[in-house]
Amino acid sequence: MEFDPLSERALDDPHGLYTELRQGCPVAHSERWNGFWALFRYEDIREVLRDSRTFVTSVQNVVPKVAFTGRRPPLHLDPPEHTPYRRALNPLLTRARAAVLEPGTREHARSLLAGLTGRAGPADLSAEYAARIPIYTFARFLNVSDADMEAIKDAWLRYNRALQDADDEQVKAQSLVLYAIARDLVDARRRDPADPAVDPVTALLAARHKGEPLPAEMIVGTVRQVMVTGMVAPTVTLGSMVAHLAGDPELQDRLRAASDLVPRAVEEFLRLYSPYRGFARTAVRDVEIGGREIRAGEPIALVFTSANRDESVFTDPARFDLDRPPGRHLAFGQGPHMCAGVELARMELRVGLTELLAATRGFELAGTPEMTRWPEYGPVGLPVNLH
């Protein structure tokens, strides 16, 4: 069975297509996009994620390939090359660090909602709420001004729109704009260092590997990568959560009445609406998966959104189940390239949902959500009536 991640069916009915592929062709090969494999079952994908020696990310990290503008650690490097970058950033991405940023994020969410709930007519809860929370939080994480963060946001939006439109020239152009912003930020921290315990750019500049500083252009690439990934996933996931709840007033009321259930709800939403359709790896040797021979050098798409609805792992996988045991989903990946910012993302999602429920008596869709096309999964336009 042929699989094209940019086909009309894959974009408009992904879960229906993924169900068919899991059950009928879980290890699919396609001649599209210069040829690639695609995995749809949870166990197959998890095994690939855990085996970073056989399946590398440094060759191709997504199918189809994104226009290349430079290597961006840690995503574009394999262990052990990627490890110094993760080691420098990990102390700034702990649950404790997220807790320090939480009060400001919560206050910002309340401020946004005060303006939205007083409005006559619908609000776009993707652009006006879900996207604004990670933008604010990330400005504090990077220790940049709101004005600088607006410039990052504008460039990110143009870059993401180009990705959605599969416009390689604009993807390159906007990626280079983001590189320029990252380079300016690195240069500023080099001239005037901050505390590396709370500033990620200074931490990267202070890091040493085998006694040597990290390569200057690789630091710029890391900052460029972090700027985008830190905003994309929370935005689309929070949007998916709101869209789901807009159609389920009973669940709204249950979570409104018991906010202690929100963290569990966030995990189930992450499973049900994984923010990325998937990433890719490349086999470094011939290997067999699901009875099919994959040759060295062949790219493999790992379809997370399919894995997280695998009926062999999750009972009634298309249903939101607040009582489902948490912790098995692959929304953040697994293995050496598991998302480093999981605690920050969880905090943003928990705060964003809790404050929305607290500020409203109810809400429903005021129109059809506009969905991302690729590689993310979730709404980019979300008209909602707030009560």
Q: Is pLDDT of 218 > 90?
A: yes
Three-state DSSP state, 204: helix
Residue 252 inside a domain? The answer is: yes
pLDDT at residue 276 in the model? 92
pLDDT of residue 88: 96
Which pLDDT score, from 0 to 100, does residue 327 have? 78
Confidence of residue 308 (pLDDT cuts 50, 70, 90): very high
Residue-range definition of the domain harbouring residue 154: 79-273+314-386
Query: Quick one: pLDDT at residue 136?
Result: 92
Identify the CA nearest to 134 among candidates 259, 237, 271, 243.
237
Q: Residue 28 belongs to what H/E stretch?
A: strand 27-30
Predicted pLDDT of residue 326: 81
Q: CATH code at 363? A: 1.10.630.10
Residue 249 belongs to a domain: yes
Q: What is the DSSP string of 49-72?
A: HH-TTTEESSS-SSSSPPPP----
300 is a domain residue: no
List of residues 6+ apart from 164 with CB closer than 8 A = 372, 373, 374, 380
pLDDT at 69: 61
* Per-residue confidence band for 67, with pLDDT thresholds at 50, 70 and 90: low
199 pLDDT more than 90: yes
Q: At what angle do helices 132-142 and 146-164 cross, to 10 degrees?
A: 130
47-50 contacts, C-beta under 8 A, 24 or more apart = 47/289, 48/281, 48/289, 48/300, 48/302, 49/281, 49/302, 49/330, 49/333, 49/334, 49/335, 49/337, 49/338, 50/334, 50/335
Reported confidence tier of residue 157, pLDDT bands at 50, 70, 90 = confident
Reference 43, options 314, 287, 276; nearest CA is 314
Structure token digits, residue 212:
């040597």
Q: How crowded is the C-beta side of 170, counted as CA atoms within 13 Å? A: 13
pLDDT of residue 46: 97
Distance of alpha carbon 68 from the chain centroid: 19
Residue 148: per-residue pLDDT: 87
Nearest residue to 371 (alpha-carbon basis) of 3, 10, 62 = 10
The reported pLDDT for the residue numbered 260 is: 97
Q: How many domains does the chain have?
A: 1
Percent of the chain with pLDDT over 70: 98
Residue 220: inside a domain: yes
Q: Is the pLDDT of residue 68 over 80?
A: no
278 vs 198, more confident: 198
Peptide bond into 336 cis (omega under 30): no
Confidence of residue 305 (pLDDT cuts 50, 70, 90): very high
Q: How far is CA 2 from the centre of its chain?
A: 26
28 is a domain residue? no
What is the rounded average pLDDT for all residues in the chain? 93
Q: Is the pLDDT of residue 164 over 80?
A: no
- Are 323 and 221 spatial neighbours (Cβ–Cβ below 8 Å)? no
Q: 90 lies in a domain?
A: yes
Paired tokens of 178 = 């983001």
Across 214-220, average pLDDT? 94
Q: Give the phi and the psi of residue 34 in degrees, each rounded to 5.
A: 70, 15
Identify whether 246 is part of a domain: yes
Confidence of residue 90 (pLDDT cuts 50, 70, 90): very high
Phi, psi of 39 (to 5 degrees): -110, 140
Q: Is residue 9 part of a domain?
A: no
144 three-state secondary structure? coil
Max CA distance (Å), the chain: 61
Q: Is the pLDDT of residue 190 over 80?
A: yes
- Give percent of the chain above pLDDT 90: 77
Tens digit of pLDDT for each residue in 317-370? Answer: 999 999 998 879 999 999 999 999 999 999 999 999 999 999 999 999 999 999
pLDDT value of position 295? 98
77 pLDDT above the threshold of 90: no
Q: pLDDT tens-digit profile of 15-51?
A: 999 999 999 999 999 999 899 999 999 999 999 999 9
